[in-house]
Structure 1
Amino acid sequence: MTAATGSFRQFVIKVHSRCDLRCDHCYVYTHADRSWRGRPVTMSEDTLRLAAARIAEHAVAYRLPRVHVVLHGGEPLLAGRERLRGFARTLRSALRGTAALDLRMQTNGLLLDDAFCAMLAEESILTSVSLDGDERAHDRHRVRADGSGSHRDVVRAIRRLNAPAHRRAFGGLLCTVDVENDPVAVYRALAGLDPPALDFLLPHATWDRPPPRPRGATGSTEYADWLIAVHDRWAAEGRPMPIRMFESISRLAEGGTSFTEALGTDGTDLLVLETDGAVEQADWLKTAYPGAPETGLHLATHRLEEAAAHPGIRARRTGTAGLSAACRSCRVVEVCGGGLYGHRYRAANGFDNPSVYCADLLKLIDHVRAAERRPTGTQPAPATATGALRNRHTLPWPRFDALAAGLGTAEDVRELAAAQRSLRTTALAAAARTAERRPDASAAGWKALAALPAEVRRLLLADPHLRSWALAHARLERPAGGRPAEAALSATARTRGRLTLPVPLRRGPEGTGIHLPGLGRLLLPEDGPVPGAGGTVTVEAADGRIALAGRVPGVDPLPGGMRWQPLRHLAADGLRVALDDLDPGRDRYGEDRRAHPRLTEEQAGQWQDRFAEGWRLIREAYPVYAAGIAEGLTTLVPLTPRPGKDISATSGPAFGAIGLALPRTAEDLAMLLIHEFQHTKLWALYDMYDLFDPADTRLLPVPWRPDPRPPPAALQGAYAHLAVADVWRLRAVRTRTGPGRDATGARQARAAAATWRQGVLEVLDALLDTGSLTPYGLRLVRSLREAAAALEP
């Protein structure tokens, strides 16, 4: 949102102006502005309908695909369950066909019984509850009129809202910082309730009414120190849930946008609609002076965009130019953004000041940015390869969110690939330890692998099939055989190093020989030696080539009837991928998706032609997917075709590889590559994050398969088929408006897009209803659902 547009995307609706708590830090009732006294207690249905109509009118005028509405107070639950249900339906009805509605609520939670929680889930009202930590911390401020504490009732309500039947409506916890409370104890109390997100709020204050500082010194950093203690505990525990303040700092440092108005230089896009229909600025301005949020506008007489002309809103839409001189010269200004606008106020010069929390923000931002550059895990590495990966790798929030929405840039996919290299390293180390305990014919190969220089190991780790064979050996599922020696020789040859090794022969369905990943396969004559009978071949890597008995395969005639089959590659528009019909570990896609034997030259030529056409189509017609595919796709594995059916697949451990039978058309190939690479990205996220409770073994119906699927598989399908819906949508536009226009084809493509989109939404809603999504899983599924809802039907 920019100052020039005049548009707003977030609307806070004050559905009730009173509260059943008397919190002593509340900006509505205890700070400068007391306008609540003269307003209706509850927003009337007529005023709500007018608010909904104005929001819809605004969405149409500015072609907003989505608007965000927060039901607020006072305490919104005091409006009553059925009134709030009606408000939700009125808002949704007004926006139907115009914009998607993201409906939320902030509450103290005291009135949340099972019926209320069920309504919130039914009406998709994402609800955040205020909780300031353990009983001592919370009840220091959040008390009833008689002075009694509210902690126990709030925690009881949170557990009710977090039950599986209602969890889809649980947005997270809001905690106001009190530096006299123990930060780690507060964090543990909040995290112990397993919230999908946490939000820490600095208490509202100004230079005239500064925040409490027990140390007493202006410029001290108690609030930064408190939040740093929370950040470090959160990071040490593997960041079990998102924390909005910390992730906003990370996003802004990466050049992204903030999740909170308290950070960053983006202009405001929020309006408050009071119970009497008044249109106001953010209500935390009430902490500055009486009337500070007022705009003079009313729903009955003004359009919402007219608020853009108000001096207060204009001042907050000028980026860094609207900040004080001290802020403009600060090295963290793009992250801090001067802090929350209300926290800059001083009666002598208005808002032309840094935040009253300036020193705290500087210290906190420096700490979080430094921590982002360090490994985040501090716990001992778990025994499993996946656990060790999760301990070392997390994504910056902007990257997680881009991938969670079903997309992802080249940089995002590069992060996934780096994490996969760590997994392969871990798998190799586990296999090497097994080899030490149980030496066999692979011993020389393992020794060679251990001695490889770093640049050679980097190439070795690019092999998409490495993780599978290494873990199979580590678990004693099958012997490594010649694999370690083959891998060491191939990587050495391709980096122009020197290495000579005896390689144990292997017997496969296409003959006996050795396989050098990334280079090719050597086959012996039918009557040659076999593994288990002492058969080896000595291979020399030197000067970028391999040699057997001094002869270079593919250049010199080979002795004794040996045959060399080089690995082929497909190339188009700067993208080069292996066409791997050789690797003995490639046949891993199931009985109905068998690997194709070695292709003939004619078949390989057909693959090249179809690939060139399909990749050009992806780049031109579906460019939003092209960069990620170009960064992450390394290998295509030909599968055996079945008449009249497209065949494609991915395997979780084989990041970068896609198996598929050659499709009939370039359009089909483009669709299959996009679809399967979506699976590739989500497999990689599964390796980095626990998204589901593993105890949930239920099966969910999905429209793309006849059999119901467990939650992780259902999400895999939804993630891939959202891209399928998008491709059909884009194909409909291209067919309707491009060369060779085809109205019938466009209608069919549009219908296919709508069908897949609806199927994805149904599956995502079912996943949200399971109650078994972790905080990361909730974040991903909600983001994916938002992307699906916003997709043009």
Structure 2
Amino acid sequence: AGVDLRVRLGPRGGYLSLPTLGAVRADTGPVELQCHGGELTVRPADGAPFTVRVQQDGATSSADPRWVPLVMLPAVVPGAGPVALDDLDPYRTRGDGAETHGLGGAAQIDDWERKAWIESWSGVEPLLRLGGEHRLTEATVLLRCMVPLGPPPGSGPTGRSAAHCSGTRREAFGAVLSSKPATPAYFASTLVHELQHTKLSALCALVPLHHEDATPRHFAPWRPDPRPFDGLLQGAYSHLALADYWQRFALHARRVAHRDQAWAEHARCRQQVGAVLPVLAGSAALTPEGRTVVNEMITLYHRLEDSPPPTGHLARAEAYVTTAKVIWQQRNDSRRQ
């Protein structure tokens, strides 16, 4: 933020982590930090002070071995800032109920995994561009930090859950939490999905969109549990963006396999959104601003019909949503009894 500071902090597990910047190796504490003019002076309790240079784009450098910099993913587009891959902060998923939300725990990645992240990241830019220049702009402007997660609970050869998970934190604007995406295409779609939550959360912090309560009562085809109205709005907003992204991907994909996969993802997301839009539109608790957002979502939803998916994909997506609702009703009816 470019703000001068002077603070004393205690290390944890031999490190004092500074989210999105790096960490100080320190066995005892506290550590005094003073930042002025882009230079961070570190005064550990058990050693001589040293300095860390903090550039405007967030990259750091220091000749002192006690400083552990973060891996920096290259800029999404030339001229933009790099994106931190923060696997050092010990508190990065603390208190968020990760398992409750189907997320994996915090993961510290090794050299092989870093290479896999960087390799997948290198293919993101052209795939985001396939989804429209606005998707590339969103990632360039909004994304500041990727936080690696482990695979979701229950995943693996004998698990029941998905092999990938991702999320955002309302109090950590610009950060996306994610397990390692399997392909650049899914990396790009993860960014599309999560940055919608980032945008809508920022909007909600500026102006209320509804006055519904927080009771989890609504069916959402992308979740097994009942959702509060706000969660339904967030999920529909992000899945609508995914439906738009995958449709554009399908229309521009050159390989038949890629096109087929994209149509399947588009059809599923579109049907999921279509199942909940009537609930959002029918709410009497929407504010004028919230009504504007929902009306624009409905407009985009109908615009997607101009390029429908192949019939087979649409039929499978309809069956998927119908089955999800039946299972949801059975599960939640049994819980009420």
Q: 1:717 to 1:513 in 2, by over 3 A?
A: same
From 39, 59, 62, the counterpart of 1:544: 39
Please say if 1:762 is aligned against 2:246.
no
CA deviation profile, 1:749-788 (whole Å, cap 9, x unmatched):
3343233213212211111223221222111111111111
Q: Secondary structure at the match of 1:638?
A: strand
Superposition pairs for residues 203-602 of structure 1, below 5 Å?
A: 458-460=1-3, 488-489=5-6, 503-507=8-12, 511-525=13-27, 529=28, 535-539=29-33, 541=35, 544-548=39-43, 549-552=48-51, 554-556=62-64, 563-572=66-75, 573-574=77-78, 575=80, 576-588=82-94, 589-592=96-99, 593-602=103-112
Q: Secondary structure at the match of 1:772?
A: coil
Shift in Å, 1:709: 1.0
State whether residues 127 and 188 of structure 2, in contact with CA within 8 Å, keep that contact through their aligned partners in structure 1.
yes
Q: 1:537 to 1:694 in 2, by over 3 A?
A: same
Q: Secondary structure at the match of 1:596?
A: coil
CA deviation profile, 1:450-475 (whole Å, cap 9, x unmatched):
xxxxxxxx335xxxxxxxxxxxxxxx
Residue 294 of structure 2 aligns with an amino acid whose one-letter code is V
Tell me the C-alpha RMSD between the 2 structures: 2.6
2:120 — aligned with what?
A: 610
State whether residues 595 and 637 of structure 1, in contact with CA within 8 Å, keep that contact through their aligned partners in structure 2.
no
Please say if 1:635 is aligned against 2:145.
yes
Q: 1:768 to 1:545 in 2, by over 3 A?
A: closer
State whether residues 637 and 660 of structure 1, in contact with CA within 8 Å, keep that contact through their aligned partners in structure 2.
yes
Q: Secondary structure at the match of 2:74?
A: strand
Shift in Å, 1:516: 3.2
CA distance in 1, matches of 2:267, 2:18: 46
1:787 — aligned with what?
A: 300
CA deviation profile, 1:403-455 (whole Å, cap 9, x unmatched):
xxxxxxxxxxxxxxxxxxxxxxxxxxxxxxxxxxxxxxxxxxxxxxxxxxxxx
Shift in Å, 1:540: 5.4
CA distance in 2, matches of 1:652, 1:766: 24
Q: How many residues align?
A: 277
Residue 147 of structure 2 aligns with an amino acid whose one-letter code is V
Residue 73 of structure 2 aligns with an amino acid whose one-letter code is L
**Structure label with greater radius of gyration:** 1
From 772, 776, 793, the counterpart of 2:289: 776
1:207 — aligned with what?
A: none
Q: 1:771 to 1:580 in 2, by over 3 A?
A: same
Shift in Å, 1:547: 4.3
Which runs of 5 or more structure 1 residues have no equivalent in the other structure? 1-457, 461-486, 490-500, 530-534, 558-562
Q: 1:600 to 1:564 in 2, by over 3 A?
A: farther
State whether residues 39 and 51 of structure 2, in contact with CA within 8 Å, keep that contact through their aligned partners in structure 1.
no
CA distance in 2, matches of 1:556, 1:749: 48
Residue 676 of structure 1 aligns with an amino acid whose one-letter code is E
From 716, 736, 739, the counterpart of 2:234: 716
Q: 1:556 to 1:753 in 2, by over 3 A?
A: closer
Shift in Å, 1:646: 1.1
Residue 175 of structure 2 aligns with an amino acid whose one-letter code is A
From 669, 675, 687, the counterpart of 2:205: 687
2:329 — aligned with what?
A: none
Instruction: Please give the TM-score of this superposition, normalised by the length of structure 1.
Output: 0.33
Q: Secondary structure at the match of 1:770?
A: coil
1:657 — aligned with what?
A: 175
Q: 1:733 to 1:505 in 2, by over 3 A?
A: same
Q: Secondary structure at the match of 1:569?
A: strand
Q: 1:694 to 1:552 in 2, by over 3 A?
A: same
Which runs of 5 or more structure 2 residues have no equivalent in the other structure? 53-61, 157-161, 309-337
CA distance in 1, matches of 2:289, 2:34: 48
State whether residues 718 and 760 of structure 1, in contact with CA within 8 Å, keep that contact through their aligned partners in structure 2.
yes
Q: 1:550 to 1:751 in 2, by over 3 A?
A: closer
Instruction: Please give the TM-score of this superposition, normalised by the length of structure 2.
Output: 0.73
Q: 1:505 to 1:675 in 2, by over 3 A?
A: same
Residue 605 of structure 1 aligns with an amino acid whose one-letter code is K
Q: Secondary structure at the match of 2:123?
A: helix
Please say if 1:699 is aligned against 2:217.
yes
1:676 — aligned with what?
A: 194
2:262 — aligned with what?
A: 749
CA distance in 2, matches of 1:773, 1:540: 46
CA distance in 1, matches of 2:236, 2:146: 23
Residue 10 of structure 2 aligns with an amino acid whose one-letter code is L
